[in-house]
Chains A and B, each alone.
Chain A
Amino acid sequence: MNGVLLASDVNFMIKGIFSYQLFGNTVWITTTHVSLLIVLLLFAVFSICAHHVIVNADPYEKPGTFQNIVELMVEMLDNMITGCMGKSAPKFLGYISTLFAFILVSNISGLLGLRPPTADYGVTFPLGVITFCLIFFNKIKHQGVGGFIKGLCDPWPIWAPINIIGDLAVPVSISLRLFANILSGTVMMALVYGLLTKIAWGWPGFLHLYFDLFSGAIQTYVFCMLTMTYVSDAIGE
């Protein structure tokens, strides 16, 4: 039945494209997979071009436009990560840069007419879990098991359950933040295009500017900053 008007006109849900059987379960290939694939293809093409340009660069010549852009991006990421993590930055440079680039391209893929892959909780939650594993691993590695247990019973041992809940809330909150921000942008654009079809020309571009570019870039920055803050807190220097 068609009780809610919005739900019938507005279309922002994840849709299944085709299903197949895997060990007796029905598994769906959804729009998220497709847009993820497109994003990763764009990413792969860019990376191959960047690698080609950087490897063949002549240090005695003026750098070209593309090489300049690549160097600018790498330098910016370098500065951001070194400014936040200090001495332990080189170890995490690869992961955080990849994370930053992936989330940024995913968030702004709404501009290409795709449904952003990060507007699916199945994409952001694994990222949160990776952050959680990094925190846990670095805590054990740098503070030892004793230090880890001591950190859990911080003021008094009776505080331990609350500390455990606080630790487990990190991946959930960090991934829900990214997911909800991008989803709200997606829903807002779907509402504009679904309900204001007659007059939606031209001006939704400004909404795209805000919801896709600005919000996406801010959330990317926040996700990476929080990951770095938590990890350098776990390393403890």
Chain B
Amino acid sequence: MNISGQEFIFGCSAIGAGLAVIAGIGPGVGQGIAAGHAAAAVGRNPGAKSDVTSTMLLGQAVAETTGLYGLLIAMLLLFVKPFT
């Protein structure tokens, strides 16, 4: 089987993109923990539900950033093809 240099780079880019998306594990765990604690907080003090929810969403969105960086790298590798 003959593989040209170009195709080899595409394949390696795809593997790299797959590896980069592993970054999604961390934010998933972190957001789950944040949501769990927020649920506990609402259970303890149902009156503060709206405050707790907005704080949780803000924190989750900030925690999501690292996962999005991984996604961005994967997209750059797959669609922009910087190494060809």
Interface residues of A (CB under 8 A from B): 1, 3-4, 6-7, 13, 173, 176-177, 180-181, 183-184, 187, 218-219, 221-222, 225-226
Contact = CB atoms under 8 A, between A and B. Distances in A.
Given A181-B64, A218-B61, 16 more contacts: A3-B6, A3-B7, A4-B14, A4-B78, A177-B61, A177-B64, A180-B65, A180-B68, A180-B71, A180-B72, A184-B68, A184-B71, A187-B75, A218-B57, A222-B57, A222-B61
Interface in B53-84: 54, 57-58, 61-62, 64-65, 68-69, 71-72, 75, 78-79
A225 B78 CA distance: 33
A221 B57 contact: yes
* Main secondary structure on B side of the interface with A: helix
A181 B57 contact: no
The residue in B10, B14, B61, B78 that gathers the most chain A C-beta atoms within 10 A of its C-beta is B61
A220 B66 CA distance: 18
Contacts, number: 47
A194 to B, nearest CB: 12
Interface residues of B, number: 18
Contacts of B57: 218, 221-222
Contacts of A184: 68, 71
Contact of A180 (B6, B69, B78): B69
> 7 nearest interchain CB pairs?
A180-B68, A222-B61, A3-B10, A180-B72, A177-B65, A225-B58, A184-B71
A4 B64 contact: no
B7 A6 contact: no
Given A176-B69, A177-B68, A180-B69, A7 B79 contact: yes
* Main secondary structure on A side of the interface with B: helix
Interface of B: 6-7, 10, 14, 54, 57-58, 61-62, 64-65, 68-69, 71-72, 75, 78-79
A184 B27 CA distance: 15
B1 to A, nearest CB: 15
A226 to B, nearest CB: 8
Contacts of A187: 75
Contact of A176 (B6, B61, B68): B68
A4 B54 CA distance: 41
